[in-house]
Amino acid sequence: MKVLVVGSGGREHALVWKLAQSPHVQQLYCAPGNAGTGQQAENIPLAVDDIAGLQRFAVAEGIDLTVVGPELPLALGLTDALAAHHLHVFGPTQAAAQLEASKSFAKRFMWAEGIPTSEAAIFDDLAPAQAYIRAHEAPLVVKADGLAAGKGVTVCQTQAEALQAVYEAMHLRIFGEAGCRVVLEEFLEGEEASFQVLVDGETILPLAPAQDHKRLYDGDRGPNTGGMGAYSPAPVITAALHQRIMTEIMTPTVRGMAARGTPYRGLLYAGLMIVDGRPYVIEFNVRFGDPETQPLLVRLHNDLLPLLVGAARGTLGNLQAEYRDDAAVCVVMATEGYPASYATGASITGLEEAAHLEDTWVFHAGTAARAGQLVTNGGRVLGVTTRAATLGTAIARAYEAAASLRWPGVHYRRDIGYRALQRVSA
């Protein structure tokens, strides 16, 4: 098969890495890719939002399966554009992608389907939003309605912070059109978890649970990011809770989307908050999580390609995802200044040293090859991913590898996996 992976981050490098192991893949492309994907696939210089260009390429090359990594091309209708030429795509249609592309759509959908989520209100104008904030105690969560590259959510500890956040989103438009509408939510205190399933329109195949670390600094402090690290499995998801998530969240979501005439195919990701043993949906994503994908795929024992093809073609049937018993962890190494402004072009050293460690993979995210050197080319630069018999060993190995990777202004959290370690040792 000819396979095209769309995207340029650590998630896409991990997908390319896993797909390259499939005996059924004859040709593998990545658009636009990065310095890491270029080692196992042919990078194609097409931006993820170049829907027409991606369509022309897929048609001309006779791509058998397009695997869409990030949310933006899905929200822009890449699946629809390729399906119009009878090409198979792993990723939902533009209509189904509203579950992530519009937080107000997702919230109203959950209300209609009785899916547990936080209390919230939706506003199109600044003044009513400000009045709502003044009438409700903090902490509050302010969310830009549209896509904001993972930066449109602000957890506000005071009313003043919430007022500032809605002013910046709705008046200053720091998120562009994405902030014209905002969702104001109650803050739920609990433990986060990422629950991902493959869907073929009807059949739901749960993947191994993971846990992400969204905040920039240790102890879950600082601004939200696209993710600073993740691990799998996630001890917070017990067998009983797993069943509850499937019954109360995933099944109603898939059935509800189908009932609306927008059947869901692809990866459905529920970002959860576990409060007193009950799962609440904080957000839906319509694609693999980043960095959750990295530990998930190094644990996945069987071939990924048939699973993706099954979801794309509506033939998941009795397919299963088989995992190693080992634990895996990913530590994201970022550039100083991320998630705000940051410099690029710094030379990265230490990759060979890190690669010598057992069961260790360095997935590229914001990297580029220039004049024979590997340099930084984004906010999140590398994802150091390890696998070991215990989570503690995997974490230690990941930080050993991270210590060997260097560039000016490197930043990464030193406590990835701390919640799981607390549970394991309890």
Kindly report, residue by residue over 184-243, the tens digit of the pLDDT.
999 999 988 999 999 999 999 999 999 999 999 999 999 889 899 999 999 999 999 999
What would the two tokens of residue 421 be?
């370690």
Sign of the C-alpha dihedral computed for residues 254, 257, 261 and 265 taken in this order: negative
Q: Which amino acid is at 113?
A: E
Using left for φ > 0, alpha for ψ between -120 and 50, and beta otherwise, residue 200 falls in alpha
Q: Which amino acid is at 42?
A: E
Tell me which residue has tokens 């170049």: 50
Average pLDDT, the chain: 96
Query: What's the rounded Cα separation, in Å, for the pair 230 and 193?
Result: 10
pLDDT at site 425:
59
Q: Which of the 8 DSSP states describes residue 210?
A: B
What would the two tokens of residue 249 be?
């969240």
Please check whether residue 288 is in contact with residue 311, taking contact to mean a CB–CB distance below 8 angstroms. Answer: no
Tell me the pTM: 0.95
| C-alpha 316, offset from chain centre | 22
Split at pLDDT 50, 70, 90, the class of 423 is: confident
Q: Which amino acid is at 253?
A: T
The answer to whether residue 307 scores a pLDDT higher than 50 is yes
Give per-residue pLDDT as tens, 97-133.
Answer: 999 999 999 999 999 999 999 999 999 999 999 999 9
Give per-residue pLDDT as tens, 48-78.
Answer: 999 999 999 999 999 999 999 999 999 999 9
What would the two tokens of residue 393 be?
């060993």
Paired sense of beta strands 140-144 and 182-186, if any: antiparallel
Sign of the C-alpha dihedral computed for residues 103, 106, 111 and 117 taken in this order: negative
**Is 47 exposed, middle or buried (CB count within 10 Å of its CB: 0-12, 13-18, 19+)?**
middle
- What is the chain's Cα-based Rg? 20
pLDDT at site 271:
94
pLDDT over 90 percentage in the chain: 93
Of 18, 50, 24, the C-alpha closest to 36 is 18
Of 391, 376, 114, 86, the C-alpha closest to 230 is 391
Return the axis-axis angle of helices 251-259 and 103-113, rounded to nearest 10°. Answer: 100
Cβ-proximal residues to 370 (8 Å cutoff; 6+ apart), any chain: 345
Give per-residue pLDDT as tens, 366-397.
Answer: 999 998 899 999 999 999 999 999 999 999 99
pLDDT at site 426:
44
Greatest extent of the chain over all pairs of C-alpha atoms, in Å: 60
Mark out the alpha helices in 291-367 (DSSP H runs).
293-299, 304-313, 351-355
Sign of the C-alpha dihedral computed for residues 35, 41, 45 and 49 taken in this order: negative
Dihedral pair phi/psi, residue 124, rounded to 5°: -105, -10
pLDDT at site 275:
95
Element holding 411 (H helix, E strand)? strand 410-411
Angle at 124 between CA 273 and CA 115, to 5 degrees: 30
Give per-residue pLDDT as tens, 157-190.
Answer: 999 999 999 999 999 999 999 999 999 999 999 9
What would the two tokens of residue 374 be?
């590997």
Where do the domains of the chain lie, and which CATH numbers do they carry? Answer: 2-93 (3.40.50.20), 125-180 (3.30.1490.20), 190-313 (3.30.470.20), 327-425 (3.90.600.10)
Give per-residue pLDDT as tens, 2-48.
Answer: 999 999 999 999 999 999 999 999 999 999 999 999 999 999 999 99
Query: What's the rounded Cα separation, in Å, for the pair 325 and 233?
Result: 9
Query: What's the rounded Cα separation, in Å, for the pair 146 and 68?
Result: 19
